[in-house]
Structure 1
């Protein structure tokens, strides 16, 4: 096995970066960033600036990078890319909070009309969710609904000191109607329950947001839940591979659905219904056009996010036009 790399002081880390060809204008500032953000986290932002070994890449069938940096690479640009990514994550969280809250209410309002505790009632849900058994993993032998209810109880226990939970423990023997229960769910719990709803109920909510059907909207929620987890854990977002992709909706321009920009298009699609006067889309446009750093030899571009030329001025009504 390859031995672990040795511990290095911040000074040694900076010396090593310089030796590999990363230009540093201000040593004190660079040391401060290494101490506050960390070498390993920043390495994800300078990785695209490392020289590609063409011969090794052809042999491996994928990009293989050398330790040395592309000529002209600057520590300052790495920090700018990190700051851009941070602002991108904050915009994502802003959108995802509004989306999560709105879809929670949609689900609770529709199902609650059928039964105040519809989330506990298998008859209010699809048979695949309420009856089909899980075959593998820690929940093998349980239905999807049973596994969902167990996670619901865990979230409820975590929120047990919340006044509204204590009130329902005392007054209603611990039972929470769905319009109250939604307050303890996370985005993943919400998306799983939506996927378990009856098709006709899914379709009502899906149509509100412009999805072709409930299955498509369930896919959107899974994709957005993935993005929510990336943002909540402060992970690199701008060029991440989306591991829960959805098909590109019919009528949209061709774009890679495993790149970040596609997910921001989904956010904008939902926000146009939830907050039609929101400035969120314009703020994203401004961030992309004004604050994305220019890198040497175009080693890093907005195309790495999945953005295509003319995306916000080619007549696509999803985005603010120039």
Structure 2
């Protein structure tokens, strides 16, 4: 409890509580602290496993995007519409990244941005997602083809990758709930559906998430109330 904190751990025992009939909640009969801790430990380990998988895909993306973009447009051939955001991240990286400092000192008078293979290493996932959407269609196709998918599918994957990565790095409960909604939306769109979470109350959404740890029925009912065919 001291190393985790009461408030964080409390999120993991909500599924084990039930109404006592007088407006209060009590733990379900047979619930133990060890059971709650196993739920917390499962979540922690799952996050680590997911982060390892996400990290491999992220390294692949950085490598292949730099390779194909530089091959087609040159080492410094960035899309104009992405330069503003790239410049901000380049400026931030000059304060902490030694390789960026070296480039700026040695070649800063000649180039306002480092070459692709350096820039992708200091760019955030959000910026990489933007850069992928702005490079030439042939570059996007080449990167996506390396994974055996079409460009629209890979763009959806990037969005899921970004929010999943953030959830793994920042295990905040409210942030994870928002991440789940974004992930569900991307998954639904890829399958030809739309999810409208505004159709249900925040209270119902929260209760469905909590109860889904032991029973998925409330969450399934909620999704059925929010789903509709995607408009073309």
Asked if Structure 1 and Structure 2 have the same fold, meaning a TM-score greater than 0.5 normalized by the shorter chain, the answer is yes
Given that residues 66 and 120 in structure 2 are in contact (C-alpha distance below 8 angstroms), is that contact kept between their aligned partners in structure 1? Answer: yes
Going from structure 1 to structure 2, the CA distance change for 1:66 and 1:220 (only over 3 Å counts) comes to: farther
Match of 2:57 among 99, 119, 124: 99
Structure with the larger helix share: 2
Gaps of at least 5 residues in structure 2 are 196-210, 220-232
Which protein shows a greater Rg? 1
The 2-side partners of 1:207 and 1:109 are apart by 14
Match of 2:94 among 157, 167, 174: 157
The 1-side partners of 2:178 and 2:159 are apart by 19
Which residue in 1 is equivalent to 2:180? 241
Secondary structure class of the residue paired with 2:29 = coil
**TM-score if structure 1 supplies the norm length?**
0.52
1:152 shift after superposition: 2.2
More displaced, 145-154 or 167-176? Answer: 145-154
Deviations, residues 67-100 of structure 1 (Å, cap 9, x unaligned)? 3222222111111111111111111111111111
Matches within 5 A, 1:173-192: 173=108, 175-192=113-130
1:221 shift after superposition: 0.8
1:156 shift after superposition: 2.2
1:150 shift after superposition: 4.3
Aligned residues: 197
The 1-side partners of 2:76 and 2:6 are apart by 49
Matches within 5 A, 1:1-322: 34-51=1-18, 66-113=24-71, 114-119=73-78, 121-122=79-80, 130=81, 145-159=82-96, 162-173=97-108, 175-211=113-149, 213-235=150-172, 241-244=180-183, 245-247=185-187, 300-301=213-214
State the 4+ residue runs in structure 1 displaced beyond 3 angstroms.
Answer: 235-240, 247-250, 298-304
Secondary structure class of the residue paired with 2:94 = helix
**TM-score if structure 2 supplies the norm length?**
0.70
Going from structure 1 to structure 2, the CA distance change for 1:157 and 1:168 (only over 3 Å counts) comes to: closer
Aligned residues: CA RMSD:
3.5
Going from structure 1 to structure 2, the CA distance change for 1:43 and 1:240 (only over 3 Å counts) comes to: farther
